[in-house]
Every structure is written in C-alpha cells, then in structure tokens.
Amino acid sequence: MKNLLSDTSRLFIISILLIAFSTRVFAQRDSTAIVHFGFIYPISSNGKQAASITNRFSLHVIAGLSKAETGASIAGVANVVKQNVSGVQMAGVANVIGGSASGAQLAGVANVTRGGAAGAQLAGFANIAGAEARGAQVAGFLNLADASGAAQVAGFANIARKNAKGAQVAGFLNRAEEANAQIAGFANVAKKVKGIQLAGFINIADSSDYPIALFNFIKNGEKSVAVTIDETMTGIVSFRSGGRVLYGIAGVGYNLKDNPEPMYAAEGGLGAHIALARSFRLNLEAVSHTLTDFDGGSYFKNSLRVLPALKFADRFEAFAGPTLNYVSYGREHDYDFVKHYIWKNNTSKDFQGLFVGFNAGVQFLF
C-alpha cells in the first residue's frame, strides 16, 4: 500500500511537470498557453516569458503575470494582466488589468481595470474602471468608472465621471453627470437625473424633478422660505427646496401659547407640487413635527397636509388647508393644544390621538 501511494505521488508530480513543460514549449512557439501554473512570477510554467503569453487557464499560489487571459485566472493574492481578459478572475487581494475585462472579476480588496469592464466586478474595498463599466459594480467602499452601464452599489461612494445608466446606491455619496436613480445615505450629486434622488441629507443637481432629502439644491428647481402657523399656535420658519415635483422641508419655530415652559419646535418632511393653473397649485406634504421644552416635555406630531396655494406678486405664495394629524406625548404633561379628536388611546401610558387640524402660511420663492 505504501509503495502504491508512493507510485501515485510520483505519477502525479511527473504529470504536472509534463503539463508545465509542454505548456511552456507551446507557449514559446505561439505566445499562447492552455494552462499556466505557478507560485509567483517568474516561478511558473511560463517562466520569465509569462508577460508575453496569453493563457486559457491560470492558477497561482501568490500572484500571476500574463499578457492576456481568455478563461479563468485564480490567484491567492493577485492576478496581473497586461492586456485584456475574458472569463472569470478571482484573487484574494486584487485583479489588475492593463486593458479591458469582459468577464466577472472577484477580489478580496480591489479590481482595477485600465479599460472598460463588461462583466460584473465584486470587491471587498473598491472597483475602478478607466472606461465604461457595463456590468454591475459592487464594492464594500468605492466604485469608480468613466461611465456606468449597470448598477453601482458601494458601502461609501459611487462615482461615474460621465453617465450612470443604472441605479447608484451608496452608504454616503453618489456622483454622476447624468443618472437614472441615485440613493445615498448622505448626498447625491449630478447634472441631470431622470428618476428619483433619495438622500439622507442633501441632493444637488442641475435638473431633478424627484429629489427626496431635507435639502435639495436643484438649479432649475425651486427654493423658498415659508412662515406657517397651525392649530396648536406653533409658528414655524422653514426652508423648502426641491425640483419641479418633489421638495424637502426643514424648519424651526416656537409655540405661541402661554405654556408653563417655553416650547420650541422643529419639523422636517417631504412635499409634492401638483400644478392646477398658472398661479394656482396644490401642495401635498408629509411632515414630522416636534415641540419640546428641553426639560423632558415633548409633543410629537406626524401630519398629512393638503394645501391649496395661490401665487401672487411674482415671488410670493399664500397657502392654507386641512391636515390629518397623529399626536403622542407623555400623559404627565397633559397638553391641551387640541380639544377634539377623531380617535384617542386612553389605555397606554402615553397619550395618542388622531385629529383634523389646519396649516396656513406664506412663502417667498427664489
């Protein structure tokens, strides 16, 4: 049995050596190889000629170097290819391509392609394409391409120097010249957006009809400063900004009633313009509103507003309309802002109620 195992091991080693020898001879003859085995350049079946040889299959313990790859290339650390690749590339750290890639690239840290990438790129840290990335780019931190033809999904940022035809989804920032849809935890930046821009804080664009954020700086959109009053006698000064349809609302204010402690207000939300006539439109708003005395007393209200609005004197607009409100606060405070409720919960420790109110105001458009 021991001799049999020994003979089998010898046969395996001899077979590998014969494959490596025949591959190298074949490679030296016409600069192509069926297989390329190695440890790290130049310790491989292609030896010092590896950079001038195209391979159909490559497997390296640490790193491989080649002219081009037409099948699969796998390395424990890195695949380095001077020209183009097709097929699948897998590396523990990085795939570095001097030309373009037409197959899938998977790397523990980064995929870097000087040309375009027609297939998917998946990396633990970053995907970088010098030309268009026509396939999806998915990275733990950053996706960067000259243009993007499919989705870009990153933990931190997606950047397309030109157009992003697919959706951009990032934990912090998306940037493109033209984009179809952008979703970011903090900010989206573009020149023209055809679909939605959704950000946790700010959207910036030359043209975007559907921005969703507290602050939206749209060049061909609308910005305004509004002063409003509601059924609780809370006055709010708010900044409203957005595109032709959607806009964001962020405001601060003060409750004008004679409360035991001064009550300060803050609100944030989203609105939509519905044009009805040249100087008349309907503003629909969904807003979260808080009153607090900064000493444990808080009054929370979520509202849906239907506000007919009339524009006058070119840059001014007056609006007023009904609101549907859900309110909650601690029962120990017994706020009496509203007397009549459609529904209220008398069983929990916090007061909860639903009522119809109003909101009215005037805003300066710029």
pLDDT tens for the chain, 366 residues long, are 444 334 544 533 444 444 444 444 444 445 999 999 999 999 999 999 999 999 999 999 999 999 999 999 999 999 999 999 999 999 999 999 999 999 999 999 999 999 999 999 999 999 999 999 999 999 999 999 999 999 999 999 999 999 999 999 999 999 999 999 999 999 999 999 999 999 999 999 999 999 999 999 999 999 999 999 999 999 999 999 999 999 999 999 999 999 989 999 999 999 999 999 999 999 999 999 999 999 888 999 999 999 999 999 999 999 999 999 999 999 888 888 999 999 999 778 899 999 999 999 999 999
Q: How much is the pTM?
A: 0.86
What's the pLDDT score for residue 334? 83
> Which residue reads 């077979």 in tokens?
15
Q: Using one digit for the tens of pLDDT, what is the confidence trace for 311-364?
A: 999 999 999 999 999 999 998 888 889 999 999 997 788 999 999 999 999 999
- Cα torsion 292, 298, 299, 302 to 10°: value is 90
What one-character-per-residue DSSP string does 46-99 give?
Answer: TGGGGGG-EEEEEEEEEEEEESEEEEEEEESSEEEESS-B-SEEEESSEEEESS
What's the pLDDT score for residue 23? 43
- Domain ranges for the chain, please list them: 84-218, 223-365
CB-hemisphere CA count at 13 Å for 257? Answer: 17
What's the pLDDT score for residue 19? 43
Residues in the chain: 366
User: The tokens of 76 are what?
Assistant: 């424990």
Tell me the CATH number for domain 223-365. Answer: 2.40.160
What's the pLDDT score for residue 331? 84
What's the pLDDT score for residue 28? 44
What's the pLDDT score for residue 347? 78
Q: Give the ranges where the chain is alpha helix by DSSP (H).
A: 2-30
